């Protein structure tokens, strides 16, 4: 097999990730001495209306997105982790401070069970998580939906911002009022 440059060379030499099935298929055909032809097909070149579509796409991307204020569970966890790490790396310099506990415990007030519930909700390591055939599944919420962190927050009428802001006490009260504290 001749040495090839660029992408074709990587495919033929096997220098690709195993998930790239296209490359594996081409390599298999090549080894069977099948004829493989590549053709560059330029997309959107000379297509009527392409320039107008580009202008509309740019205009739409400049508009504020309605979902930009909503955060995903992974984003909540990242934000919380950054807050906890900054508090841990820069401990208070007060004379009375003798603790060395990293994390939100430096900033939180409330019972230990409330702090644990908030930490579990933030990290997604909740009591309701089960793994069935290597798939993450959640127990049912009282409303019969899977009790994922995002669903629980939505179900009790809270916002994701409350989860990582200083409003933890109010969030715990909502969890208790709606009877989902056992799931967290």
For the stretch 144-172, pLDDT in tens is 888 888 888 888 888 877 777 766 678 88
Q: Is residue 100 part of a domain?
A: no
Residue 128, C-beta contacts closer than 8 angstroms, at least 6 positions apart:
138, 139, 147, 183, 184
Q: Is residue 22 part of a domain?
A: no
Which domain covers residue 144, as residue numbers? 107-178
Residue 146 φ then ψ, to 5°: -60, 135
Identify the residue with better confidence: 118 or 4: 118
User: For residues 87 and 66, what is the distance between their CA atoms, to the nearest angstrom?
Assistant: 32
Residue 27, C-beta contacts closer than 8 angstroms, at least 6 positions apart:
11, 12, 14
Q: What is the mean pLDDT of the chain?
A: 71
> Average pLDDT of 11-24?
58
Quick one: tokens of 68?
């930009």
DSSP assignment of 13-59 equals HT-S-TT-HHHHHHHHHHHTT---------TTSS-TTHHHHHHHHHH
Q: Is residue 155 part of a domain?
A: yes
Domain count, the chain: 1
pLDDT value for 104: 46
pTM here?
0.41
pLDDT value for 24: 67
Residue 150 φ then ψ, to 5°: -65, -40
Quick one: tokens of 122?
């933030």
Q: Is residue 143 part of a domain?
A: yes
Identify the residue with better confidence: 1 or 114: 114
Q: What is the DSSP letter of 132?
A: E
User: For residues 92 and 109, what is the distance between their CA atoms, to the nearest angstrom?
Assistant: 16
Q: Is residue 70 part of a domain?
A: no
User: For residues 99 and 88, what is the distance between their CA atoms, to the nearest angstrom?
Assistant: 10
Q: Is residue 30 part of a domain?
A: no
Strand, coil or helix: 64: coil
Q: Is residue 142 part of a domain?
A: yes
pLDDT value for 100: 45
pLDDT value for 176: 87
pLDDT digits (tens, 9 = 90+) for 60-119: 666 655 555 566 677 777 777 877 777 666 666 665 555 444 454 445 567 888 888 888
pLDDT value for 88: 66
Q: Quick one: pLDDT band at residue 48, thresholds 50, 70, 90?
A: low
Q: Is residue 158 part of a domain?
A: yes
Number of H helices, E strands in the chain: 8, 2
């Amino acid at each position: 097999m001749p040495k090839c440059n660029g992408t074709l060379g990587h495919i033929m030499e096997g220098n690709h990730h195993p998930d790239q099935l296209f490359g594996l298929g081409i390599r298999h055909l090549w080894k069977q001495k099948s004829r493989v032809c590549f053709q560059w097909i330029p997309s959107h070149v000379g297509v009527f209306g392409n320039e107008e579509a580009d202008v509309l796409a740019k205009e739409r991307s400049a508009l504020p997105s309605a979902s930009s204020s909503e955060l995903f569970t992974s984003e909540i966890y990242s934000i919380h982790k950054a807050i906890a790490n900054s508090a841990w790396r820069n401990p208070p310099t007060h004379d009375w401070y003798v603790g060395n506990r990293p994390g939100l415990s430096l900033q939180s007030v409330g019972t230990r069970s409330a702090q644990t519930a908030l930490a579990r909700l933030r990290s997604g390591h909740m009591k309701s998580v089960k793994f069935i055939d290597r798939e993450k599944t959640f127990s049912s919420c009282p409303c019969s939906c899977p009790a994922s962190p995002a669903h629980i927050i939505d179900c009790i009428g809270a916002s994701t911002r409350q989860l990582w802001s200083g409003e933890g006490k109010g969030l715990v009260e909502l969890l208790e009022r709606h009877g989902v504290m056992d799931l967290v």
